């Protein structure tokens, strides 16, 4: 009977974790729909999706890291370096080469982060915080302390990621987010690597005893986070037609917030990409609501902070109940 009660408790906790966040989204959508006539217009919905792209891309990589039991506080700095490299390579070798350079740069810096974390054995929170400062300095050196632009001949093509597509004006960058979310979801839920990510995040010692290469898995999630950051940097650079060393500052905190608000456990071992996307949607809806309703945006960080605190507290309570 005790076993059955434990199973029932775990199922109810899981149901609350799954449906509670979806109910929160539904409630936000209902409130905004009833409060303003412009929320459900096609223009606002397209804009809403476009606003979620950068944080969403970072959240895809961050979700993998958090599930694996690590943090990547260097993501925004990797974003900046990748964006600057993209602009410089575009000017010298063309747009396709610039796009590829951004992704490769992000992947290499992410891999470097993972290698440093596993070899130094310093907690990922501290190690990536320090590496983020290093990467931000690297961005400053590469850009020469200035804003870099692609030449006029390549600017229009470079900004193609921000162009609307035939799908109701949805931008190419929004479709990129959908593609990345699908790929990372499949990677996490349907592959051996994904199962190892959960195992390492849930209990690294048990994972190691089971023959899983804990270090290689951690390096892998950092590499993926770097690639996602590189893509996010590319999107930001394409939107503005330029890149600079301080772009994207603190966006990694937004990604972590979205990941936690979506229901991915801050302690590792539990979560999903769709949860991170829901978290991004909630933060985006809040920002959109403040704009549409004309509320003072000064209070927005307070609302987001309370949401994060609530999400972490709920995760702690659910874990205690399931254990």
27: domain CATH number is 1.10.3470
Instruction: Please enumerate in sequence order all residues whose Cβ is within 8 A of that of 45, keeping only pairs 6 or more positions apart, or say none.
Output: none
Q: What is the mean pLDDT of the chain?
A: 89
| 295-309 tens-digit pLDDT | 887 888 888 788 778
Cβ-contact 233, 82 below 8 angstroms: yes
Cα 249 to chain centroid, rounded: 14
Lookup: tokens for 86: 């993209």
In whole angstroms, give the CA distance from residue 72 to residue 323. Answer: 28
3-class secondary structure, 246: coil
Distance between CA 312 and CA 265 in Å, rounded? 8
> Which long-range contacts link 26-31 to residues 24+ away (Cβ below 8 Å)?
28/282, 28/285, 28/286, 28/289, 29/285, 31/289
Q: What is the pLDDT of residue 311?
A: 74
pLDDT string in tens for the chain (323-residue length): 443 343 344 455 555 556 678 888 888 889 889 888 888 888 899 999 999 999 999 999 999 999 999 999 999 999 999 999 999 999 999 999 999 999 999 999 999 999 999 999 999 999 999 999 999 999 999 999 899 999 888 999 999 988 888 777 889 999 999 999 999 999 999 999 999 999 999 999 999 999 999 999 999 999 999 999 999 999 999 999 999 999 999 899 999 999 998 889 888 999 999 999 999 999 999 988 888 888 887 888 888 788 778 777 776 676 666 55
Residue 221: Cβ-neighbour burial (10 angstroms; 0-12, 13-18, 19+): buried
Instruction: Assess contact for 150 and 159: CB atoms under 8 A.
Output: no
The pTM (predicted TM-score) of the whole model is: 0.91
Counted domains in the chain: 1
Question: Cα 322 vs. chain centroid, distance in angstroms?
Answer: 27
**CB-CB contact of 158 with 98 (8 Å):** yes
Q: Which helix (H) or strand (E) holds 273?
A: helix 273-293
pLDDT at 3: 37
pLDDT reported for residue 98: 96
Contacts of residue 313, Cβ cutoff 8 Å, sequence gap at least 6? none
Domain that holds residue 193: 2-322
CB 35 within 8 Å of CB 293:
yes
pLDDT at 16: 55
Report H helices in 145-272: 152-158, 172-190, 192-202, 204-209, 214-240, 251-261
The predicted structure's pLDDT at residue 319: 62
Q: Which residues contact 55 (CB under 8 A, 6 or more apart)?
A: 251, 254, 255, 258, 280, 283, 284
CA of 313: how far to CAs of 112, 206, 260, in Å?
Answer: 33, 26, 10
Q: How far is CA 304 from CA 154, 262, 301, 310, in A?
A: 39, 12, 5, 10
Token duo for residue 11 = 């199922």
- Measured in degrees and rounded to the nearest 5, phi and psi for residue 171 equal -75, 160
Residue 266: helix, strand or coil by DSSP? coil
Residue 100's pLDDT is 97
- To 10 degrees, the CA torsion angle through 19, 25, 26, 29? 180
Can you give the length of the chain in residues?
323
């Amino acid at each position: 009977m005790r076993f059955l009660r434990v199973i029932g408790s775990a199922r109810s906790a899981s149901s609350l974790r799954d449906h509670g966040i979806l109910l929160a989204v539904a409630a936000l959508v209902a409130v905004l729909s009833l409060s303003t006539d412009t929320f459900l217009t096609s223009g606002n919905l397209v804009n809403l999706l476009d606003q979620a792209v950068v944080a969403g891309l970072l959240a895809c990589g961050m979700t993998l890291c958090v599930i694996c039991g690590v943090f990547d506080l260097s993501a925004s700095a990797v974003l900046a370096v990748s964006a600057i490299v993209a602009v410089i390579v575009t000017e010298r070798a063309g747009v396709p080469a610039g796009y590829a350079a951004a992704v490769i740069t992000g992947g290499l810096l992410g891999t470097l982060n993972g290698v440093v974390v596993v070899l130094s054995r310093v907690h990922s929170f501290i190690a990536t915080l320090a590496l983020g400062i290093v990467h931000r300095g690297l961005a400053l050196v590469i850009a020469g302390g200035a804003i870099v632009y692609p030449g006029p001949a390549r600017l229009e093509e470079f900004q193609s990621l921000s162009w609307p597509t035939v799908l109701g004006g949805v931008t190419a960058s929004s479709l990129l987010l959908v593609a990345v979310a699908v790929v990372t979801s499949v990677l996490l839920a349907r592959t051996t690597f994904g199962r190892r990510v959960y195992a390492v995040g849930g209990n690294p010692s048990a994972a190691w005893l089971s023959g899983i290469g804990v270090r290689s898995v951690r390096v892998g999630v950092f590499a993926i986070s770097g690639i996602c950051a590189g893509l996010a940097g590319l999107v930001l650079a394409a939107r503005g037609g330029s890149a600079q060393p301080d772009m994207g500052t603190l966006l990694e905190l937004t990604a972590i917030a979205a990941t936690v608000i979506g229901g991915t456990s801050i302690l590792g071992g539990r979560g999903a990409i769709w949860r991170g996307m829901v978290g991004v949607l909630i933060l985006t809806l809040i920002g959109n609501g403040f704009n549409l309703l004309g509320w003072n945006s000064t209070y927005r960080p307070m609302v987001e902070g309370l949401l994060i605190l609530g999400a972490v507290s709920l995760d702690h309570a659910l874990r205690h109940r399931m254990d």
